[in-house]
């Protein structure tokens, strides 16, 4: 069978199916993901408040959903005094990664020192336990790269989701077992940075993500979105992964089949410890 007609299998390396905006539509989201051959979904928590919902999703769909738990940089202010202890507990209860964690320089809340301390505590835990961590970074590439490029090679691997950093460090990141993932923003022709990164990231170190329900792709003319949010904007969902994958294939001058195979293999290697 020619490669491009075989059934492709895709993975969504980063989504938030626990988000309340998706909850009423979850059955449809999962059905459309299956119809689009998006076979594996990595759901990342964002705050202690959503850890139980993420755990329930992974428990309800053990062959399709894998999970990570952590404190997202936007949500550190309401952490409980026992948050790190609770994180250790939930990571000990079932195979899981750490995420979404990171730095964000756009928040004018005076908590940047706290945010870095919370990020480093979680990153250290990912090294200690040897589990993958998923990283968010916005407007904080200086400190983020200083941390990551001075850290040892991570045993399981790290994922920087929706990578918007500079292309010239991609090789150094890959050498430290750090991966990047591409989502809906790659479909925007004016996003030169993401497109440059898509061309230059070394083989073995790139994945695809929906970041559902945020950062939806720009859909081609004539294709209508599955779900709209209250603000009438498209909600992202895993079913769009093959479309983003086709754009990535164009940018890397290869076929969607190669991209599906590569991103699925990369996801299975990175998330090996989370798989059932």
Phi, psi torsion values for 40, nearest 5 degrees = -130, 130
Rg, the chain, Cα only: 18
Q: Would the CA dihedral through 187, 189, 194, 199 be positive or negative? A: positive
Q: Which is nearer to Zn ion, 8 or 211 (CB)?
A: 211
The span of 1-9, 107-115, 208-216, 255-263 binding Zn ion (CB under 5 A) equals 208-216
Strands 97-104 and 65-69: parallel
Q: Which is nearer to Zn ion, 68 or 264 (CB)?
A: 68
Closest separation between CB of residue 88 and Zn ion, Å?
A: 22
The residues near 40 (Cβ < 8 Å, ≥ 6 apart) are 11, 12, 64, 66, 264, 267, 268, 271
Q: How far is the CB of 78 from Zn ion (least distance, A)?
A: 18
Q: How far is the CB of 214 from Zn ion (least distance, A)?
A: 7
Question: Which of the ranges 79-87, 167-175, 185-193, 204-212 carries the binding residues for Zn ion, by CB under 5 A?
Answer: 204-212
Complex with Zn ion: residue 48 or 211, whichever CB lies closer: 211
Query: The tokens 């007609």 sit on which residue?
Result: 5
Q: How far apart, in Å, are the Cα atoms of 229 and each of 29, 73, 187, 213, 224? A: 14, 23, 20, 9, 14
Alpha-carbon distance 29 to 188, whole Å? 23
Smallest gap from Cβ 215 to Zn ion, in A, equals 8
Kindly list the strands in the beta sheet with 206-208, ordered across the sheet, starting from the edge strand earlier in the chain.
10-15, 38-44, 65-69, 97-104, 133-138, 158-160, 178-182, 206-208
Looking at the Cβ atoms of 53 and 257, the one nearer to Zn ion is 53
Tokens representing 171 are 């090789």
Task: Mark residues 35-64: x for contact with Zn ion by CB under 5 A, - for none.
Answer: ------------------------------
Nearest CB to Zn ion, comparing residues 55 and 161 = 161
How many binding residues for Zn ion (CB under 5 A)? 1
Stretch that binds Zn ion, among 57-65, 103-111, 172-180, 210-218 (CB under 5 A): 210-218
Q: Which is nearer to Zn ion, 43 or 91 (CB)?
A: 43
Query: What x-and-dash track marks residues 211-250 binding Zn ion by CB under 5 A?
Result: x---------------------------------------
Instruction: Report the interface residues with Zn ion, using CB under 5 A.
Output: 211
């Amino acid at each position: 069978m020619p490669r491009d007609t075989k059934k492709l299998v895709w993975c969504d390396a980063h989504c938030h199916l626990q988000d309340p905006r998706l909850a009423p539509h979850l059955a449809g989201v999962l059905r459309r993901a299956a119809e689009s051959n998006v076979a594996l979904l990595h759901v990342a928590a964002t705050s202690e408040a959503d850890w139980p919902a993420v755990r329930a999703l992974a428990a309800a769909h053990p062959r399709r959903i894998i999970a990570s738990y952590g404190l997202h940089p936007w949500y550190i202010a309401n952490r409980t005094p026992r948050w790190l202890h609770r994180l250790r507990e939930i990571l000990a209860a079932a195979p899981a990664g750490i995420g979404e964690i990171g730095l964000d320089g756009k928040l004018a809340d005076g908590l940047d020192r706290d945010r870095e301390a919370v990020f480093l505590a979680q990153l250290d835990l990912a090294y200690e336990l040897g589990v993958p961590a998923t990283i968010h970074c916005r407007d904080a590439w200086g400190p983020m790269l200083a941390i990551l490029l001075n850290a040892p090679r991570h045993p399981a691997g790290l994922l920087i989701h929706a990578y918007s950093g500079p292309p010239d460090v991609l090789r150094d990141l890959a050498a430290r077992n750090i991966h990047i993932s591409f989502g809906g923003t790659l479909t925007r022709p004016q996003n030169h940075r993401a497109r440059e990164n898509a061309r230059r990231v070394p083989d073995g170190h790139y994945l695809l993500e929906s970041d559902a329900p945020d950062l939806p792709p720009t859909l081609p003319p004539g294709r209508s979105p599955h779900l709209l949010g209250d603000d009438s904007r498209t909600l992202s969902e895993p079913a769009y992964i093959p479309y983003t994958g086709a754009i990535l294939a164009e940018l890397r001058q290869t076929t969607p089949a190669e991209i599906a195979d590569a991103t699925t293999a990369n996801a299975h290697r990175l998330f090996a410890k989370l798989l059932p």
